[in-house]
Amino acid sequence: MKRQQSSSIVFLTELFLSLTIFALCSSVCAGLFAWSYRYSKDSNALSHAVMAAQSCAEAFKRNPSPEELAKALGGAASGGGCLIYFDEEWKSTAADKASFIMQVSIDQETGLRFAEIVVSDTDYAEIFKLDASALWTEVR
């Protein structure tokens, strides 16, 4: 009878250790999946931010004023620049539905215009920044 009890204790100890190792491995795998999801989401946001900033830089070169730039990009002029709001799918949207914000600051010197394009999330954590310049001469 003693022999049966000791083999049961060994079996239960082995089973407990197996479950403990399985639980530890499961928690590590769940942490890796969460990390990869966040990393993928950040990478996706960076890719879209780069594309939006490049499109904005090209529009900046074609449009002389912040108002025209804002109209071309579907945003709103503000001061010496403009604001463009994007939703989760990177489509232009209203400010109250925005998930991402592109701020364009325009500075103009004689014949030369500079733009600082900053794409951030709604908490103003910078995702991407691009500086652009364009030679602007008026035809008379």
Please report how many Cα atoms fall inside a 13 Å half-sphere around the Cα of residue 70, on the Cβ side: 19
pLDDT tens digits, 67-88: 888 898 888 888 888 999 999 9
Short-list 111, 103, 107, 72, CA closest to 86: 103
Fill in the amino acid letter for 132.
Answer: A
Total residues belonging to the chain = 140
Residues 6+ apart with CB under 8 A from 131: 114, 115, 116, 117
Two tokens at 70? Answer: 């804002």
pLDDT tens digits, 16-72: 999 999 999 999 999 999 999 999 999 999 999 999 999 999 999 888 788 888 898
Full 3-state SS string of 30-63: HHHHHHHHHHHHHHHHHHHHHHHHHHHHHHHHHC
Furthest-apart CA atoms within the chain: distance in Å: 110
- Mean pLDDT over residues 101-127, rounded? 90
CA–CA gap between residue 94 and residue 111 (Å, rounded): 33
Q: Give, as one character, the DSSP assignment of residue 1.
A: -
pTM for the whole thing? 0.76
